[in-house]
């Protein structure tokens, strides 16, 4: 009887230890550790008469998140808005109607306006803005980053002060 009780106690401790191991199917909610799966870059060229330019770096992570850095130069102490739109710089038509969300007949933003904070160039005419964007860019789709002077209306991508097409590269 003493051996049976000891054996059951040892089996119970072993079973408890086995249950305390991490579950391999656990949910990971810290996306900062997700690997980069694609790198997008763009250089925004000014559209006359504007003189603002920008260089964009867009690191797309596994897990539907991207880290964006946008470095802009232009007229000192000037405020700007920026957005990334589906469609390249040759399209200068705002999406409207039932196809507005698919970008079939115009440009559509890839994320909410909160993903693209406004910025003001410093006294030397420079600014770097960093943002995290939720979403996924498709490597077979054309995208552009567009800049315009800050206005009271929503930026629909039409008539930007500068525009640059995004270039895709898989992560190494």
Q: Which residue has the higher pLDDT, 37 or 108?
A: 37
Tens of pLDDT along 104-148? Answer: 667 888 888 889 999 999 999 999 999 999 888 999 999 999 999
Tens of pLDDT along 1-19? Answer: 556 565 555 555 555 555 5
pLDDT value of position 136? 86
The pTM of this model reads 0.77
What rounded mean pLDDT belongs to the chain?
Answer: 84
Report how far Cα 111 is from the mean position of its chain's Cα atoms: 8
pLDDT value of position 83? 93
Domain boundaries, the chain: 33-170
Omega before 49 within 30 of 0, i.e. cis: yes
Class of domain 33-170 as given by CATH: mainly beta
Tens of pLDDT along 19-32? Answer: 555 556 666 566 56
Concatenating the DSSP letter of every residue in 97-129 gives GGGTTTTTTSBEESS-GGGS--EE--TTSEEEE
Strands 79-86 and 36-46: unpaired
């Amino acid at each position: 009887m003493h051996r049976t009780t000891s054996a059951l106690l040892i089996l119970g401790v072993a079973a408890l230890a086995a249950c305390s191991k991490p579950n391999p199917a656990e949910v990971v909610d810290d996306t900062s550790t997700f690997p980069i799966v694609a790198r997008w870059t763009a250089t925004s060229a000014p559209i006359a008469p504007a003189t603002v330019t920008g260089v964009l770096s867009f690191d797309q992570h596994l897990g539907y998140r991207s880290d964006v850095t946008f470095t802009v130069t232009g007229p000192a102490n000037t405020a700007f808005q920026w957005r990334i739109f589906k469609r390249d710089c040759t399209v200068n038509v705002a999406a409207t109607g039932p196809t507005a969300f698919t970008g079939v007949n115009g440009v559509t933003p890839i994320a909410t306006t909160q993903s693209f904070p406004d910025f003001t160039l410093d006294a030397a005419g420079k600014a770097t803005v960093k943002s995290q964007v939720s979403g996924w860019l498709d490597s077979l789709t054309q995208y552009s980053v567009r800049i315009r002077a800050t206005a009271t209306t929503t930026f629909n991508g039409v008539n930007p002060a500068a525009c640059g097409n995004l270039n895709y590269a898989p992560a190494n």
